[in-house]
Structure formats: structure tokens, C-alpha cells
Chains A and B, each alone.
Chain A
Amino acid sequence: MSHSKEWTPKDDEIVEEEEDEDVSRYTDQKDAILFAIHVSPSMLAEHPDEDEDARKKTSAPSSAVRTALECAYSVLQSRIISNPNDLMGIILFGTEQARFAGGSFEHIYQVMDLDVPEAGAIRELKTLLEDEAAFDELMVPCDKSQVSIPNVLFAANQIFTTRAPNFQSRKLFLITDDDDPHAKDKPLKQSAITRARDLYDLGVQIDPFFMSNPGKKGKFDTTKFYDDIIYKTADDEDDDRPLPLTGRGTTKLKEMITSIRSKATPKRAQFSTTLEIGPGLSIGVKGYILFKKQEKGRSHYIWTSGEKAQIVQGSTTMTTAGEDGEDVILGPKAQFKKAYKFGGEQIVFSDEEMKAMRDFGPPTIRIIGFKPAAAVDFTHNVKPAQFLYPDEKDYIGSTRTFTALHNKLLESNRVAQVWAITRRNSSPAVCYLYPSEEIVDPASGRQLQPPGFFMIHRPFADDIRQNPEVPPNPAPSALTDRMRAIVKQLHMPKAYVPEKYENPSLQWHYRILQAIALEDEVPDTPVDRTLPNYKAINKHAGELVLEWGDQLQASAASVTVQVLPEKPKRGTKRVKGEGDDAAAAPPPKAKKVKETAGTDVRALWEKGQLAKCTVVVLKEFLAANGLSTSGKKADLLERCEEFFETK
């Protein structure tokens, strides 16, 4: 029986090298965030969403508590994708009801325990947001005098201590509109101050989210109370964190989500090394990953025969062929060697030699000179750029020196060419340091472009592929002119903004998972913001495209087109001119390919002789029909069979 087609999950592969991030080794590399949301009459008061587009009135009036919970829910969903192993929790304070695992804290209600989110808890949160009765039942504020900030802080302390021990990053998002909770109670205020200090000493960062409530007089005044509670982190890099946002009214959900999402992700360096500006002038820098393809979570083998579905743990045993051909398990004493296959044998190296041959010196990023920014060619790219920012820890004066270089390269529009070995034993790379100037959105205060250098990896000569052979066929200028009109018409002045494009396939995958996990109805159509706006394209450029199409017909007739000799000439486009009758129009291309490529294969299939096709033919056929061309011939054959059967 053949198992070749059997599905194998991603985590079942043996991965040799993985790009880990450079993290403190003394702590668990996980993050925990805890929302603490103040429930009070003013936080529960509903206000219409003060959108710029107030006229539209699309959103129903919402309260600060609801907005905060919606925000938490949205952050939760995005973190399940981006930080699947990280912890999150939600507590409400100032409620009449109390619920707290492992302790008694009055007027604190734990909506979600601090943990990796789990279906039950997510469902509960969702219900709270969707079921108004449940919401109203829980959201009964206690008397203002019963709210104790020291208690809230200590509860957070206990939650972090027990649920997220030795974590690298622990953050408390405190959401409130009361700028002076203990105005009349000095001991309580002092107690809050010491409890806040406890959190600081525990390594928990408080990120407040203050709301100026329209129902209250005056702006949120942090000097009354919170300036004694909030610490700036000792971490140099963070010392310009934007001050706690003061939302106007019920802060717009989107803004809150963006802000919390960016704060929730601790800034982790991928490497920290030296930047050698010239012989004898080195400074400290840290490298960050700002762009990385977010993939779906890996699939797992699971076992469903028990009470609860369980993840199956795979473990690898190394074996070798024994004398009788049976696999023999290698014991702990087995001696291993690495070798390269060469000329029918193995060329062996010792472990030290394996290391030594890959050693090109200690890690550093060394500038070898400068070039105009235009040297960074559009085509010369192999992977996402990394980002460099100065680091004073090992070299005092790094920031000012880095800044001077940054200033110069920006001002003269130049880049530095570097030889980069970013971590011990990593292969050398040739990169450009491309200066980027800080850009801040004046409206939201959000940083749109960070100040520093992008490190753009340059391909090596080995990485450049030759062009396919195509004869040059320059378009006549009349045709180019028509196309130019189209391009101008469909101009996107804001260029590409990643924030506008969610990954539709990724989002769909998780929507389905969530629906199954929460036993919800499975949605039927994905939201896909990447699809072009066809209607607008037709409206704005339709006429121009038709003109271009006519010109194309005319040009094709008058220009001798170079083609590779043996291939038949084929029609191009499917533009239907208004007056053209079907006979005059070029044959619709797509179908033709399918049919011509399909007939032979189909004929063989009908005769039951599909196996006679060569792999090349099968692959071409599958590709032409948009099917996968991976796998062995048997796989290809099966895929073809399937195709014909379903047709």
C-alpha cells in the first residue's frame, strides 16, 4: 500500500536551521498582556461614535467599556495569528460581581484568565459582546468608594506572578476614565503608589489607556494621580514612548486597537552586533525584523479517540540499515559524522572543520564604502529588509555617531554597502544600508516610518537567473500613448499602504478555525480586500481600455511582430470592440490553450491510457488548468484523472 500521497503536517519535518530572534536567555520568551477595564457609570454611558463621518451614523452608540472589550476581542483575534503561544487575560474592576481564580478580590471580575486563549473563554467573551442581557447583567458598577486601585494592581501582580512566571514581557493595559480615583483617601493613594512600584519591581509594565469622557468635566489630568503610578521603562529605546493616549470621547475603536496592538508586541531585536563605519570606528547596533511573512499556524497530528482532542507529539529516532537490512536503532553511544556526497563517496569533515569552513570571522556589519541610493536596484532583492537602530549598551556614543551617518546619507541620498555577519556562524551577506527618515502621522501620532537604516540584502552573482529568450517587440508609440492614458487614470496617489491589505487567505483560515472551535456557523464567503475595484476601473478607464484595444488591433496589423520561429502565432486579448463581430475578433486565448493542451491528454484519458503521458506533458497540462504540479508521476496522474472525472 502506498502512503506517498498521505498528508504530512508541517511540524513533522525536521528543520535544521531556524532564524530565532535574539532574546534574553534568562527568561521565558513569551509575552503576557492583561487588560484591566474600569466599569463605572461614566464608562458605561453610551455615546455616539464621533467619527469624522458623523453624518453616516453607521455605528450604534457605544460605551467605553464596550469599546474596550471589543478592542480586547480584536487584539485577541490578531494575536492568535501573530503570537499563538502568548498569553492574554481580561479583568474588569469596579463591578458589583466578583470572580477571581485563586484568591478573593472584591469588585474584580475576571472575564478571561491569563493564559493562551482557549475556545471556552473566547466564546464567553464573544457572548458578552453579542448578548446584551448578559452584558447588562455583568456590567453593574459598584459604588465609587468601593473601587480600590491598590487592589486592582495587586490582583494584576498575583495574576502575572502565578500565570506568567519568568516571562520576558508582561504588560498591563489599564483602561479608565477616572483621573483621581482616591482623591479623598490618602492612605489608599499611597498604597496604590507602592503597589505600582511592586509591579515595576516585578517587571510588569503598566500601559495606561486614559479616556476623556464627554460625560465628565475637563480633560483627563494625569498629574492628579497616575503620574505617581506610571513608570517609564529603564530600557533606553522605549524612553520616548508616546504618552498615554487620551481618547476623545469614546476613543475610536480602530485607533485603540492600533495603539494597543503596537504596544502589545514587545520590540525584540533579531541580533545585536557592531557596525564598523571605518577601520577603528565601531558602534553598537541592533537589528530588527519589521517585515516578515505571516504564515498560517502549522498543522498538527492530533488524536481524537480520547475525551478531548490532543496534539500528538512526534519524536525522531535515528536508525541505520543493519546487516540483515532491517533498521537498527542507534544508541546514545553512536558516533556521528557529517559528510558531503562527492564522486560516489562521502567526503568527511570533523565537527570543528564543519564549523571552520563556515567561519568568515566574528559577527559585525562592516561598511566598505558608499554608493548613490540609485545603486539599490529594484530587481536586486531576495528577502525582506532588516532594520538597524543604534544601541548604547556596549559602545557609548553609538547613537550620536549613527545619527551623524544617518544625517549624511539622507542628505546626500546615498547608501552604504556592507559586508554583514549578523550572528555567530551566520553566512556573510552583502547588503545596502538604506537610510529612512522618521515620518509621524500628525493626526494620530503614529510612526509611519521609523528613523534608522533598512538593511537590504543584495543577491550574489549566483542568485541572478538568466532571462528567458524572448525577441524584443517594442510597442509602437501610438499604443504606448493609449496605455499611458490608462495608467494615469488609475493612478493611486497614496501608493502602497500595507495597512489597507489584510491577507485574505490567512484571515479566512482563522475564521474557519474559530468557527469550528467555537462551534459557530461557518461563514460562507471570505472578505477579500485585495480584489481590484472592477467597477471603478470600468468607470474610470473603461473607455480608455477600449481605445487601447482598437489601437492594439491596428498596431498588430501594421507592425511586423517578431516571434520565435517554430511557435504558432496566437491572439492576445479578449477585448470585445463595440462594432466587431465575433469572427473578426481574435479568438479568446485562454480557452484555446486549455483545449489544445487538453485534447491529447483527454484523448488518452478516454482511452484509459493516461499513464502514457510523460511527466512533462502531465505537468504542462495540470499547470494550464491551474492545478498543482508537485509530486511524483502517480500523483500527477491521479490529479489529471480527478480533473477529467469532475469535468
Chain B
Amino acid sequence: MADKQATIYIVDVGKSMGQKRHFRQKTDLEYALEYVWDRITTTISNGRKTDMIGVVGLRTDASDNHLAKEEGYENISILSPIQQFLMSHVRELEESLHPSNTDEGDGIAALILAIDMIIKHCKKLKYKKNIVFVTNGTGGFDTDDIHTVIDGFKEENINLTVLGVDFDDPEYGYKEENKPAYKAENEKKLSDLVEAVDGAFGTMAQAVEEMGTPRLKTVRPVASYKGKLTLGDPTKYDSAFAIDVERYPRTMVAKPVSASRYVVTEQSTDGESAPTMTATEETPASELQAVRHARTYQIESEDVSGGKMEIEKEEMAKGYKYGRTVVPISQADEAIAVMETEPSMDIVGFIPADKYKRYYHMSTTNVIVAQKGNGMAAIALSSLIRALYELDSYALVRFVKRKNDAPVMMVLAPEIGADFECLIDVQVPFLEDVRPYRFPPLGTVKTVKGQTLDKHRNIPTDEMNKLMSDYVDSMDLSEWGKDDDDESAEYAPIDSTFSPIIHRINQVIKHRAIHPKDPLPEPYPVLTKYSHPPEDLVKKSQAHLEKLINACDVKKVEAKVKNKKRKREQPKPISVFDLEAILESTSGNKKAISLENSIPEFRQKLGSLESEAEFRDLGTQMFSHAKKLITTSLADINYGRACEIIRAVREEFLEYDFAEMYNSLLRDLKKDIVEKKLDGDRTGMWWTIRKFSLGLITKDEADGSEVTEEQAKDFLKL
């Protein structure tokens, strides 16, 4: 569990904080608060009761603090005692954080007050203690008693952060021009103090700029397996070894916070139950109520009207499906259906690293280290890690995490760092996990006759290969980044790529909490930094890219062009045998389309049609088959077949540019369904049509249509 934490923010709200400086749109206070709110909302979002916040106002009009009786503590107010911060506190605090009408009030006294608050609150308990001080450094700072302040920080082990508006910071590279002498002096006093207590001192601009940089949550490592790594069977053979190991996650996908669903409840307007809180319009939450899910259970039954019978939970048993058959599993069967296993990590053998396919990685990875405190296990495991490392090999193991868990296959790779070594495990696929897809080769093309071509529109020319090579070489990232020492390093390393979704959602929640009426803010740049190639690199490789684009000559296919191929090629079997002649003689164009073989006959006839009337006739025949299938359908048994007929007509008429013809046939069918002309209620058929998206052809799909997307959507409703 994370440590308890208490953080006090000292916010300078003096009159001078209300000024706007250096062409900023914001007052000094607004500027400083941007940072303070970000920190506070970050704390709120972790939702921990033990992460507490207190707020002290400096240069306030009032002198509302428990030391105010003493001299020197005027114009300092405790705006919030140390407590878990909630939204109501945020709203209260917002009310009180405005520039005051005074510039009186001593910054050092505010620090003493904050230390006192921490001492009183934390007592001798284990807390992480912080004071964050934001100011523009224009007020008074009485350093006569500064050593007691320094002692206070040291004794209580409090981290101090001072952030000043327009403070000079050579490291960050900021220097305020024409700084008044008293401000410079204040900055000096504060930075000396910070240095004496080993705190952090910085300029507000940097703090605001780095606000978007996510603070990563650290998760205490929790072992997912504590057991043995064995080679051989210790129960059967003397020559087996077992090393005590522990396994901890190395990677684990962090998930964004999830939203819950609420129902908006009717607000009574008669005023009877008017909320007692003052800020009525600011309490959007009060009208939301949590939604719960209740499950009910039914079975299909012909004895009950509606065909569904409610079942009580007690009447249900557990089962599985084997194909179409429902297999009830009794408690006893359940026990056998689970393969019995013992927790273990069993070495199967060792594999050369260069023969391992990196794309076999199926899972997150874990580190395996020796059992804590077990020195012998440590050197035993180390010998394995080092042997694997030296031989450039991995270990293949069979792993069972817990009793009766399913075994998995894992590959273990050695990792040796400066003062940490371990094995890294990852799951690899079983036979059943592999999908046996086959893909045509790239770079060669085989003709129908089996000839192999090396020149083809799908094969790059030597020139394309050359230009691609130049382009790739010009876009190398391996040294495009900068490390901490400004040396060139890998661009976009893992530790600077943050999960965009997690931090984006956190960002908008925090923003909305403070600015309930504002639109969503833009994502922090750090979240999308690696969504595009670095601009300077793109510029550098521009010439290569242009040549490559020319050579490759990629053409986008326009949506509508795709459909148009009026005169289409007839499909041919491998022998390229032309069977149009036979087709014409056997099927005979005059004959009507049969129901049983409707789709092939329909498609085969289209090629020889000439007039629009003939198309219309054919379409009508198809639709009447569909209607007949619907009419004779026992429940929904024929719906799929009817849909297939409709789909065939849709596809072909779209291709032959008779969109309106299809649309009118479909309208007619819908009418029949609505009017219950197809043997009663056939709404199910319409939902099936909808499910397969067999609605009207829109004008986006074909020029012949006048139907808009919107109309097509409406049409699908009943």
C-alpha cells in the first residue's frame, strides 16, 4: 500500500497576483493556479483517503489562522485544513482563491504555519510530507528566524517545493528582464532556503509546461508465483534440480479509468425537495443515480405465450456446449473436466535465441528472480541466467501457476543489468492458438497456368527498391533522440511514450472538475508527440520521399468507381473453358428463374440482358421468390435464404447501375411486411434485412440513387 501523504499548498493571493505580466492572458494567480489545480486534481483522482491536502492562503484580506494572535501572522489564512480533498472542497476553495486587496503578509510566516499544521496533523505517524509554495515573489519574506524554519523542515522531513511566477531559472533557461530589485532579493532568499532544506526550486513556466507529462503510478511488485524452477523430475531421479524462485510482472497493461452509467432522475420542480446546498446549479451530481443491472433468465418454451418461460436461479445447472449439444456438467463431472496439475515451472529444454520467433510472444512478460533471502537459490539461478546469456539461449518451460491451473508454455530469456539479473518469461502459442492462414508470396507472382513472373504491377521495380532503401535510411530514429546529457540517443524510447488514452481521460476529467462549463481541452502534446514522424527528420528526408512517391505511383480508388464495371468478365475455371455457350443453351434465357437454384440462374442471366425492362423483370422474379420464402417460412427458418436472394440482387444491381430498381423492389417488400401480407407478422424478417445491411442503395454508393444516408437509415426502421 502506498504511504500516507500530506501536502500543503501555500498560495500567494496578494493584490499583485491579480496583475497580468509579460503579455500573458492570465493573471499571476490564474497562472499559478493552473499548476496548483493540476496537482490537487491529480491527488483527488487517485481516490485515496490517506492522500491529504491542506491549503494556506498568503496575503489574504483576513487573518484566519490559529497563530494569528502572535505578531507576524497577519494576512495569512488557512483555506483548508489537511483532509482528503473532494469535489465540494474544490468548489469551496475556488471561491476563496481570488486576488485580495492587500499586499501585506509574510511568506516565511506562512511556511511556519504550514509546518505547524503538518506537525499537528501527522504527529509522529509515518507520512510523506510536502509543502508546495507558489508566489510571484513580490511580497515580504522575513528571514530573521530562518534557521528555525530550516530546522523545522529537516526535523519533520518535509519536502519543500517553491515555484515562482517569472522566477529566474538558468537550468530551464529563463531570466526575467527588468526584474525589480526586491523581487530578485526575494528569489534569492527563497532559493537559499530551498537549498538549505534540499528542496526543489523552479519557475512557474516550467511547471506549467510539464503539467502534461504524466506522473506514473508505481505499483508495488506482487509475486504471481512462488515456487520451484525444476529440471528433471525430483520425485523419480536423483539428477534433478529445483531452484526456489519468485515471479513478478514486468509488463502489465495499465487501463484507463472507466465511466459508470447513471440515470438522470426527474427533478421535482415544486420546490419541496429542493436541495439544501447553496450552490444549486453547481451540483450536477445530485440528479444522477447509479444504474444497476438485474439479470433474469428465460428458456424457450412453446407452452407459454411469447415463447419464453422465466426460470428461477435455483432451477439452473451448469453446462457447456459440445457442438450443438448441450452438455450438463454435474459437480463430479466438473472436477474431472479440469485437468489436475500442480504448481510448477518445469524446464523442457533449451533453445537457441536466434531460432526463436519474436512474434510467438503471446502475453505480457514477467521477471523471475530467486526466492528472497535465499542465497543459494540466488547463485543457482544466476548460474542459469549466465549460462543462457553466454550461450545466447532461452529456456523452454511448462508452467502451472496455481494448483489445477492450465499449463502454459513459456520461453525464459536471461536479462543481466548493472546490479540486477533475472529471467524474463513470456507465453508462447500452443497448436490451437495458431491460425493456419496462408499468404501469397511477396515479390513473385504466379499466373493461373503456374508460371512465375518477376515483373508485374505487384512487384516493385529495382528503382522502387532503391528509392525505398534511400528513404528508409534517411528516416533512421536510432540516434535521433536526446538523452539526459544531451547526447544523441534512441528517439521515442519506451519511458517517454505514455499511454495516450489513460492520460487523456485523466486530463479531461481533471479539467472538467475545475472548469465544468468549458469544452474539452486539447490533448497534452506529450501524449501525441510520437503520432507523427519528427518534423525536422521529415524535412531532411523530403527529397527521398518525393522520388519514392513518384516511383511507386500509388493511386487511391474512388469509392464509386469500384462498382462500375458494366461489361464484366465472365468467370472462368482453371482450364479457361468458356462456358457461356453451354449456359445459354442449357438454362435458356426465356425460362423463368427457379426457386431452388435462383441465385446462380439470376447471376448467369444478367450478362445477356439488354433492356432495362429485362432487368426489372429479373429483379421482380427474385423478389417474388424471396417473398414466397418468407410467406412459407416456419418462424424464421427461411429468412436467411430470402436475404441471400435480396443480397444477390443488391450486389448485381449496384454493379449494373440499377440502384433505383433495387430500391423500389425493396420498398415494395417492406410494404408487404408492414401490411402483414406475407402470412402474418414478419417483422423478424425486416430485422434480418437490417442485420445484413441490405437497405436502400444510397447515392454515396451509386450515382443512380437519390437516397441519402439519413433516408436509408430511416427506411430501415419499422
Contact B390 A542 (CB under 8 A): no
Distance A632 CA – B253 CA, assembled complex (angstroms): 25
Q: Does A530 contact B (CB under 8 A)?
A: yes
Q: B271-308: which have CB < 8 Å to A?
A: 284-285, 288-301, 308
A-chain residues with CB within 8 Å of residue B172 when the two chains form the complex: none
Q: Decide: A197 near B600, CB < 8 A? Known: A505-B407, A513-B320.
A: yes
- CB of A335 closer than 8 Å to a CB of B: yes
B374/A563 in contact, CB under 8 A: yes
Q: Which of B85, B436, B596, B601 contacts A158 (CB 8 A)?
A: B596
* B530 within 8 A of partner (CB): yes
Chain B residues lying within 8 Å of A488, measured Cβ to Cβ, are 350, 391
Confirm or deny: A645 has a beta carbon within 8 angstroms of a beta carbon on chain B: no
Tell me the complex Cα distance, A530–B265, Å. 57
B221 near A465 (CB under 8 angstroms)? yes
Report A264 CB to chain B, min CB distance, Å. Answer: 9
Taking the closest CB of chain A, its distance from the CB of B684, in whole angstroms, is 15
Residues on B with C-beta less than 8 A from A548 are 241, 383
How many residues from B make CB contacts under 8 Å with A? Answer: 253
Contact A572 B431 (CB under 8 A): no
Q: Mark A413-446, 1 if CB is under 8 A from B, else 0.
A: 0100101000000011010001010100000000
CB of B378 within 8 A of CB of A532, answer: no
Interface of B is mostly: mixed
Taking the complex as formed, is B132 at the interface, i.e. its CB lies under 8 A from any CB of chain A? Answer: no
Taking a contact as CB atoms under 8 Å apart, the answer to whether B403 and A116 are in contact is no
Interface contacts beyond A154-B597, A514-B322, A573-B243: sample of 11 additional A-B pairs, CB < 8 Å, sorted by A:
A227-B575, A228-B574, A229-B573, A278-B471, A317-B296, A452-B439, A464-B494, A466-B221, A505-B339, A532-B233, A541-B232
Q: Chain A 527-538 against B: per-residue CB contact (8 Å), 1 yes, 0 no? A: 010111110011
Is A134 located at the chain interface by the 8 A CB criterion? no
Q: Say whether B318 contacts A378, CB under 8 Å.
A: no
Partner of A358, one of B504, B554, B600: B504
The interface bits of chain B over 374-389 (1 if a CB of A lies within 8 angstroms of the residue's CB, else 0) are 1111111011111110
| CB nearest neighbor in A for B283 | A345
Give the docked Cα–Cα distance between A379 and B512 (Å).
37
The reply to whether the CB of B124 lies closer than 8 angstroms to some CB of chain A is no
Q: CB-CB contacts of A388-423 with B at 8 A, as 1s and 0s?
A: 011011111111111111111101101001010000
**Is B323 at the interface (CB under 8 A from chain A)?**
yes
How far is B249's CA from A303's CA once the two chains are assembled, in angstroms?
A: 41
State whether B433 touches A292 (Cβ < 8 A): yes
Q: Are B372 and A567 in contact (CB under 8 A)?
A: yes
Alpha-carbon distance A372/B388, docked complex (angstroms) = 23
Q: Which of B252, B342, B346, B508 contacts A357 (CB 8 A)?
A: B508
Partner of A379, one of B371, B424, B638: B424
A472 at the interface (CB under 8 A from B): yes
Q: Which residues of A contact B233 (CB under 8 A)?
A: 532, 534, 538
CA distance A86 to B643 in the complex (A): 19
Asked whether, in the complex, the Cβ of A570 is within 8 Å of the Cβ of B465, the reply is no
Q: Is the CB of B500 within 8 A of A487?
A: no
Answer yes or no: A14 CB below 8 A from chain B CBs. Answer: yes
A337 and B439 form a contact (CB under 8 A) = no
Partner of B512 from the list A303, A349, A384 (CB cut-off 8 Å) is A349
Q: Does A135 contact B (CB under 8 A)?
A: no
What residues of B have a CB within 8 angstroms of the CB of A82 in the complex?
Answer: 432
> Which residues of chain A are near B329, meaning CB under 8 Å?
299, 513, 516
Among candidates B324, B350, B553, residue contacting A491 with C-beta atoms closer than 8 Å: B350
Tell me if A84 counts as interface (CB < 8 A to partner B). Answer: yes
On whether the beta carbons of A397 and B553 are closer than 8 Å, the reply is yes
Q: Kindly provide the distance from the CB of B91 to the nearest chain A CB, expressed in whole angstroms.
A: 10
Q: How far is the CA of A201 from the CA of B605 in the complex (A)?
A: 11
A201 to B477, CA, bound (A): 51
CB distance from B607 to the nearest CB of A (A): 11
- Cβ of B347 < 8 Å from any Cβ of A? yes
Given known pairs A409-B472, A487-B393, the reply for A399 and B359 (CB within 8 Å) is no
A375 vs chain B, min Cβ distance (A): 7
User: A231 with B600: in contact, given A316-B294, A394-B556, A402-B442 (CB under 8 Å)?
Assistant: no
Name, among A375, A475, A546, A570, the residue most crowded by chain B CB atoms within 10 Å (CB to CB): A475
| Residue among A194, A238, A317, A526 having the largest count of chain B Cβ atoms under 10 Å | A194
- Assuming A379-B250, A405-B468, A562-B375, is B575 touching A228 (CB within 8 A)? yes
The complex places the Cα of A417 from the Cα of B641 at a distance, in Å, of: 47
- Interface segment, one of B15-23, B156-164, B256-264, B656-664: B256-264
Q: Does A249 contact B (CB under 8 A)?
A: no
B694 near A201 with CB under 8 A, answer no
Q: What separation, in Å, do the CA atoms of A396 and B326 have in the docked complex?
A: 49
B650 proximity list for chain A (CB < 8 A): 26
Please give, as numbers and ranges, the residues of chain B lying within 8 Å of A339 by CB-CB distance. 259-260, 262, 285, 288
Shortest distance in angstroms between B197's beta carbon and chain A's nearest beta carbon?
A: 28
Point out the residues of chain A lying under 8 angstroms from B285, CB to CB. Answer: 339, 345-346, 348
**Assembled-state Cα–Cα distance A533/B346 (Å):** 10
CA distance A568 to B317 in the complex (A): 50
By the criterion CB–CB under 8 Å, are A483 and B323 in contact? no
Given A197-B579, A379-B424, A548-B241 in contact, is the A487-B350 Cβ separation under 8 Å? Answer: yes
Q: Are A372 and B251 neighbours in the complex by a CB distance under 8 Å?
A: no
For residue A598, give the distance in angstroms from its CB to the closest CB of chain B: 14
Within 8 A of A (CB), among B426-456: 426, 428-443, 446, 448, 450
Min CB distance, A99 to chain B, in Å? 19
With contacts A381-B361, A385-B359, A470-B372 taken as known, whether A116 is within 8 angstroms of B254 at the C-beta atoms is: no
Q: Which residues of B sit under 8 angstroms from A228, Cβ to Cβ?
A: 573-575, 577, 579
Q: How large is the interface on A (under 10, 10 to 19, 20 to 34, 35 or more residues)?
A: 35 or more
> A522 to chain B: which residues have CB within 8 Å?
336
Is B80 engaged at the interface, CB distance under 8 Å to the other chain?
no
Knowing A465-B249, A513-B337 are in contact, say whether A369-B383 is a contact too (CB < 8 A). Answer: no
Q: How many Å lie between the Cα of A401 and that of B231 in the bound state?
A: 49
Is residue B697 contacting chain A, with contact meaning CB distance below 8 A? no
Q: How far is the CA of A647 from the CA of B540 in the complex (A)?
A: 73
A177 to B413, CA, bound (A): 50
Q: Are B434 and A460 in contact, CB atoms less than 8 angstroms apart?
A: no
Binds B, one of A37-45, A64-72, A212-220, A621-629: A621-629
Chain A proximity mask over B478-520: 1 for CB below 8 Å, otherwise 0: 1010000000001110111111111011001100110000001
What are the 6 tightest A-B residue pairs by CB atom distance, in nearest-first order? A567-B373, A561-B375, A542-B239, A505-B406, A572-B376, A165-B640
Q: Which of B176-184, B187-195, B541-549, B703-711 contacts A (4 or more CB under 8 A)?
A: B541-549
Contact A297–B321 (Cβ < 8 Å): yes
Interface string of A576-610 (1 = CB under 8 A from B): 10100000001001100000000000000000000
A391 to B640: give the CA distance in the assembly, Å: 30
Q: A184 on the interface (CB 8 Å rule)?
A: no
| Least CB distance, B250 to chain A, in whole angstroms | 5
Quick one: CB contact mask for A269-310 with B, threshold 8 Å, 1 for yes?
Answer: 000000001111111000011111110111111111110111
Asked whether, in the complex, the Cβ of A261 is within 8 Å of the Cβ of B436, the reply is: yes
- The interface residues of chain B lying within 8 Å CB-to-CB of A499 are 431, 434
Q: Which residues of A contact B123 (CB under 8 A)?
A: none
Question: Chain A residues near B240 (CB, 8 Å)?
Answer: 534, 537-538, 545, 574-575
Across the interface, A430 reaches (CB within 8 A) one of B355, B450, B492, namely: B492
Q: A198 near B: Cβ within 8 Å? A: yes
In the bound complex, residues from chain B placing their C-beta under 8 Å from that of A349 are 259, 508, 512
* CB atoms of A561 and B396 under 8 A apart: no
B647 in complex: contacting residue of A166, A530, A628, CB < 8 Å: A166
Residues of A within 8 A of B573 (CB): 193, 196-197, 227-231
CB-CB under 8 A from B537, the residues of chain A are 369
Q: A395-B557, A486-B231, A487-B391 given as contacts; is B439 within 8 A of A237 (CB)?
A: yes
Among listed B94-102, B108-116, B210-218, interface-contacting one? B210-218
Interface status of B475 (Cβ within 8 A of chain A):
yes
- Kindly report which residue of chain B lies nearest to residue A455, judged by CB atoms: B359
For the complex, is A637 an interface residue (Cβ under 8 Å from B)? no
Q: B120 interface residue, CB < 8 Å from A?
A: no
Known contacts A201-B599, A417-B477; is A480 also within 8 Å of B387 by CB? yes
